[in-house]
A and B are shown apart, each in its own frame.
Chain A
Amino acid sequence: MEYLLHILILICIYIILAVSLNLLVGYTGILSIAHAAFYGVGAYVAALMALRLETPFLLNLVLALIAAGAFGAIVGIPSLRLRDDYFIIATFAFQIIIFSILNNLVSFTGGPLGLPGIPQLEIFGLTISTHIEFLILACVLAALVYRTASRIVKSPFGRLLKAIREDEVFTQAAGRNVASAKVKVFIISASLASIAGVIYATYITYIDPTSFTLMESIFIISIVIIGGAANLKGSILGAAFLVALPELLRFIGLPSSVAANVRQILYGAMLVIMMMWRPQGFLGEYAFGKNSGDRSQKAEVRTNRGNDA
């Protein structure tokens, strides 16, 4: 039973990560591979505050949101000026930098040993310690994140994001500030991701840098793409599917050394299969990377502008 609850809590955490990344990848069409870094920022801020200053959970949560949002602005403002591929490289760099800081700033983050013994969680005098209580907390926060994201995508701002994804030049010609909208959604996405980190840190009570690597970012991207880009329900389905799938492997009775590798093979194979036969994912309406027609048009304008430099 506890095992099942544990899986459900993990699914909630990944729902938060996938939904927040979907705003960026699915709706705005910009691929970031730094999502695990923001997840890590959330986890470390919450853990450090709880350990060193013994601040209450809700304050930690707010501080994590602000910290991740600030990092989002620092990374987003300069790098969102870059176009597609270069932006991905910029987020890649950020991902590596955050990992290196967590791994090497031993006096502060504990380095590779991580931060053990994160104190028990209390909200308004209520102690949250059992699995079921954690599941409720995770569900509530996941629901809040989902609600926030769905409000955003259904609003005129969501329309603006889709417009940017489809054609930046038209969006500019419609009188919209494309650069500022991109920065805003990047900051929102980063902030929301940090919530997952806060839950993870307080739930597991121990964090170390290996939970927030590039592989983790790619796993989150897989959830978004397999579940369906530009569809928030797809992210829920994708998170449930990709988190539960490897757990099923345990019951086949593979030795754990093999199972770990099979897991990676499975993710890779899933991504390839989906890209070939269903690039829009289970529920998505937008096939990531498939709007080659628009891309070439964009490229044209870019060369025009390039000449002008």
Chain B
Amino acid sequence: MMLKVSNLNKNFDGVVALKDFSLELKEKEIIGLIGPNGAGKTTFFNVLSGFVKPESGKIIYRGKDITNSGSHNIVFEGISRTFQDLRLIRQILVIENILLSFNHTNGENIYNIMFNQRSWKKIEEQDKQKAFELLEYAGIKDKANDLANDLSYGQQKLLSLICCLAADAKLLLLDEPIAGINPEMREKILNIISELPLKGKSAIIIEHDMDFIERICSRVIFMDMGEKISEGTPSEVRNDPKVIEAYLE
């Protein structure tokens, strides 16, 4: 098992965000996380990526307890995420956004910058090369030297996905990767995500678009009020009376 989350609990001022939430994920598996707004999906991502500490519960990633690790350590363990509200560094270049996502920090060491440029210049060049390859893969190579702010909304979503790939994460947490973008870009992003298992990567995807979920997820978890209501293949979950009830409420 790649990821084993057990009995997470989290409350925000008395509002239940996660209640005894458990989840297991195998290597190279893509699962969908669905549910109404406020169900606790994003909170789960925040807990998993170390931005929010759970009140109780345990997260084991590849045999290692990361429940209380800081967010930057979790990235180095191999978990990378995107944000629902699309966080990119808009006033820096597209390519710099990607370079920042690589897990190489030799060039951020002050001693190396002043006295040992050789220790990172080469890695930086290689990263640049890789960044261009990733941009080419995503089809926005011509935008490399634009400000991230000048990209269209869809391209920004694409870029944030590319940043996750650059981080070389084994597990990607994608928060609404296709919400509000045009069909063409949607296909592009769908293709990139569906190729993740081929690259040995897994993903958990939060998305409201059921058609999208059915096309790429082998397993779906339905959440409501911080609890897991239903789990199974997309069609099983879709036809689960408890799910229908939750949506009708």
Residues of A whose CB lies within 8 Å of any CB of B are: 148, 151-152, 155-157, 159-160, 162-163, 165-167, 169-178, 181, 184, 188, 285-286, 291, 294, 297, 300, 304-305, 307-308
Contact = CB atoms under 8 A, between A and B. Distances in A.
Given A155-B113, A163-B89, A307 B83 contact: no
Nearest to B98: A174
Contacts of A181: 108
Given A159-B92, A163-B92, A172 B120 contact: no
Contact of B89 (A167, A172, A177, A300): A167
A159 B99 contact: yes
B88 interface: yes
Interface of B: 10, 12-13, 46, 49, 51-53, 70-72, 74-76, 80-81, 83, 85, 87-92, 96, 99-101, 103-110, 113-114, 120, 124, 163, 167
A304 B10 CA distance: 12
> Does more than half of chain A's interface fall in helix, strand or loop, or is it mixed?
helix
A291 B91 CA distance: 9
> Does more than half of chain B's interface fall in helix, strand or loop, or is it mixed?
mixed
Contact of B114 (A151, A297, A307): A151
A184 B111 CA distance: 11
A155 B113 CA distance: 7
Given A159-B100, A307-B12, 10 more contacts: A151-B113, A155-B108, A155-B113, A156-B124, A163-B89, A167-B89, A171-B100, A173-B80, A175-B74, A291-B91
Given A156-B124, A188-B110, A177 B83 contact: no
A294 B149 CA distance: 12
Contact of A169 (B70, B83, B106, B114): B83
Contacts of B107: 155-157
11 contacts: A151-B113, A162-B96, A170-B83, A170-B87, A171-B89, A174-B100, A175-B74, A175-B80, A175-B103, A176-B72, A181-B108
A156 B108 contact: yes
Contacts of A305: 51-52
A162 B147 CA distance: 13
A260 to B, nearest CB: 39
B186 to A, nearest CB: 23
A144 to B, nearest CB: 11
A175 B72 contact: yes
Nearest to B15: A307
Contacts of A178: 72
B110 A172 contact: no
Contact of B12 (A167, A173, A184, A308): A308
Nearest to B91: A166
B99 to A, nearest CB: 7
Given A155-B108, A155-B113, A157-B110, A286 B91 contact: yes
A174 B75 contact: yes
Given A159-B99, A172-B51, A297 B113 contact: no
Contacts of B109: 157
Nearest to B82: A173
Residue in B81, B88, B109, B113 whose Cβ sees the most chain A Cβ within 10 Å:
B113
Contact of A297 (B13, B52, B87): B87
B76 to A, nearest CB: 6
A304 B76 CA distance: 24
B101 A148 contact: no
B13 A163 contact: no
A169 B106 CA distance: 21
A291 B92 CA distance: 13
Contacts of A304: 12, 46, 52
Contacts of A308: 10, 12, 52-53
Nearest to B43: A304
Nearest to B46: A304
Contacts of B120: 155-156
A173 B83 contact: yes
Contacts of B51: 169, 172-173, 305
Residue in A170, A172, A294 whose Cβ sees the most chain B Cβ within 10 Å:
A170
